[in-house]
Amino acid sequence: MRELFHNLDRWILERGEPVALATVVRVFRSAPRPEGAKLALSIRGELSGSVSGGCVEAGVAEAAQPVLATGRPALVRFGIGDDVAWDAGLTCGGAIEILIERLEAPLYRRLRDQLVTETPMVVATVVSEGSAARTGSKLLVTFQAIEPIDAAGLAHRLDNTLWDGKTGRQIVEDAQALLRQGYGAESALRTYLPDDSLHVYLDVFPRPPHLAIFGAVHIAIPLVRFAHEVGFRTTVVDPRSAFATPERLGHAGTLLGAWPQDAVETGQLKLDDSSYVAVLSHDPKLDEPAIRYALEAGARYVGAIGSRRTQADRAARLRAAGLSDDQIRRVRGPIGLDIGARTPEEIALAIMGEAVAAARGTLSST
């Protein structure tokens, strides 16, 4: 959703026009985009995002026209036959179900505010149910609040028991369970009621993972760029004024000209068990405090640059500083997946791949 902000701001907020928002809610066999993939269509025919490899976008645009005209959501299914599967990036055919809704300013502003403030949320949307009038009704779920929202985006208490009682509590429990999974959570279509007649799509928007980069070296420049491309927010920390400059790293989310201990102890940088840390400076005075703080905070991923000899020498100093062997073994070093990287860009790619693997729970412990 965040990647659509630029165009949605223009179409909805600046021009005051509604858009059709198409979301993949179910995939059968295989598909080029997962559940949660989104395509926005303006009333002028402009497109942003994607729900497939390009093979169904025209059909979605056609199906979106009555949704834009009436405001009534539509659930459409597209089969991806074997004859177009290759063009769509598939090795076999498949099918996808797509929910198309009209998105207007009140709901867009509400969702945008949640995303901009990085408040984790799940948007539970009725996809199909016995009462067609309730299709598109939503429940916005955070850790702190539950907010019913109608299809037009106006918060109110719905005049039915859709979100009340046992079923409503189960939906909220499922939504908050997804929130607890963090970055690895996947949106999903769930069924409720004893006869499974209530289909609710749980669209999860976790807080973006945070990559803290210690050392504003050349590798940090493409690393910040790659991190943003895959949805990480970034902080670069380096006390050396010649390195930590806006000219070199102005594209970082936050640039701190500080020592690690100062950044952490003053609250400028917060590390916890959802943090990802890349230590890059080659300077023990910068690298080792950064590693200590990351390990003590239980960061989800800690990687440090340097040869195996450098890693061994560093481990000995960290051990002498009081860190346990279990903590030290958590440091990935030499940092990054082994892809034969040589250039700064290739090394940054290897680091980002390792961080994503840690985020997705596929990173080997060896």
Last residue of a domain, one of 61, 77, 103: 103
DSSP strand pairing (38-42 vs 188-192): unpaired
Q: What string of pLDDT tens digits covers the 366 residues of the chain?
A: 888 899 999 999 999 999 999 999 988 766 667 788 899 999 999 999 888 766 788 888 999 999 999 988 888 888 755 454 444 444 455 778 899 999 999 889 989 998 888 889 999 998 875 555 567 888 889 888 787 765 544 444 333 456 667 888 899 999 999 998 888 788 989 998 877 888 899 999 988 899 999 999 999 999 999 999 998 999 999 999 999 999 999 999 999 999 999 999 999 999 988 899 999 998 889 999 999 999 999 999 999 998 888 889 989 999 998 889 999 999 998 999 999 999 999 999 999 999 999 988 888 765
Quote the number of domains for the chain: 3
Last residue of a domain, one of 189, 207, 225: 207
**Residue range of the domain that includes 170:** 118-207
Rounded to 5°, angle at Cα 42 from 36 and 45: 110
Is the separation of the CB atoms in 21 and 101 below 8 Å?
yes
DSSP strand pairing (254-256 vs 233-237): parallel
Q: Annotate 150-186 with b (16+ C-beta within 10 A) or e (fewer).
A: ebebeeeeeeeebbeeebbeebbebbeebbeebbebe
Tokens representing 188 are: 């999903």
Cα–Cα distance, 37 to 22 (Å, whole number) = 8
DSSP assignment string, 236-249: EE---TTTS-HHHH
Q: Both 296 and 332 in a single domain? A: yes
- pLDDT score of 53: 66
**What is the SS3 assignment for 105?**
helix
Last residue of a domain, one of 103, 134, 160: 103
Q: Both 235 and 318 in a single domain? A: yes
**What is the SS3 assignment for 150?**
coil
Residue 366 within any structural domain of the chain: no
Q: Both 336 and 313 in a single domain? A: yes
Phi, psi (degrees; rounded to nearest 5) at 330: -80, -15
Q: Both 215 and 356 in a single domain? A: yes
Q: Both 227 and 320 in a single domain? A: yes
Q: Both 177 and 196 in a single domain? A: yes
| C-alpha pair distances (Å), 303 with each of 213, 352, 355 | 10, 10, 9
Q: Both 352 and 250 in a single domain? A: yes
Any idea which residue has 């809704």 for tokens?
Answer: 101
Q: Both 51 and 153 in a single domain? A: no
Q: Both 2 and 137 in a single domain? A: no
| C-alpha pair distances (Å), 30 with each of 35, 81, 92, 202 | 11, 11, 7, 20
Cα–Cα distance, 32 to 25 (Å, whole number) = 13
Taking the alpha carbons of 58, 63, 64, 68 in that order, is the dihedral positive or negative?
Answer: positive
Q: Both 57 and 147 in a single domain? A: no
**What is the SS3 assignment for 336?**
coil
For residue 247, the domain's CATH number is 3.40.50.720
**What is the SS3 assignment for 126?**
strand
Residue 93 within any structural domain of the chain: yes
- pLDDT score of 153: 46
Q: Both 200 and 218 in a single domain? A: no
